[in-house]
């Protein structure tokens, strides 16, 4: 995970409010629901580069998550407004996204996370060891 908190070139932020159904018996967000929050931020990020899941499938590639890291710093609770940020930090051989979940009002860090996705050619089921050119096009960069 990147040490600094500055957004990358490809970044998206979304705000959401913690709902009652996301709580555990301790009346804080159940740890498994943070995966859902990462997905909300990731979808906003993918939409921003015009390469969401539908567009991925249309391009002939699936991008399964192969690794996920979460670090819980402080709990979120019912009614709390959260800011979810996702940043693309690697794209050459895999798609690595860093996340930051903060309290929307105070900016206090609640959770840091990262996911790694790899391209899989849908027609063959083969994993790509280099990201396909369509990702480079969506990011507006030249392949290395």
Q: What tokens appear for 88 in the block?
A: 């693309």
For the chain, domain boundaries = 11-139
Residue 8's pLDDT is: 72
- Rg of the chain over Cα atoms, rounded to whole angstroms, equals 16
**Confidence at residue 4, expressed as pLDDT on a 0 to 100 scale:** 47
Which residues does the chain have with pLDDT short of 50?
A: 1-4
d(CA 45, CA 52): 8
Q: CA 2, CA 140: separation in Å to the nearest integer?
A: 22
Query: Whole-model pTM?
Result: 0.92
pLDDT of 2: 47
- pLDDT, residue 3, reads 46
* Predicted local distance difference test score (pLDDT) of residue 6: 55
Question: Would you state the CATH architecture of domain 11-139?
Answer: Roll (3.10)
């Amino acid at each position: 995970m990147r040490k600094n908190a500055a957004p990358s070139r490809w970044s998206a932020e979304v705000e959401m409010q913690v709902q009652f159904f996301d709580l555990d018996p301790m009346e804080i967000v159940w740890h498994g629901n943070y995966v859902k929050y990462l997905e909300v931020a990731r979808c906003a990020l993918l939409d921003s580069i015009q390469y969401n899941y539908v567009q991925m499938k249309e391009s002939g590639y699936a991008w399964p998550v192969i690794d996920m890291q979460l670090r819980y710093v402080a709990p979120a609770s019912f009614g709390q407004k959260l800011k979810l940020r996702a940043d693309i930090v690697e794209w050459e051989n895999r798609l690595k996204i860093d996340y930051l979940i903060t309290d929307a009002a105070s900016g206090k860090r609640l959770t840091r996370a990262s996911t790694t996705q790899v391209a899989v050619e849908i027609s063959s089921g083969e994993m790509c060891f280099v990201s396909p050119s369509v990702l480079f096009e969506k990011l507006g960069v030249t392949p290395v």
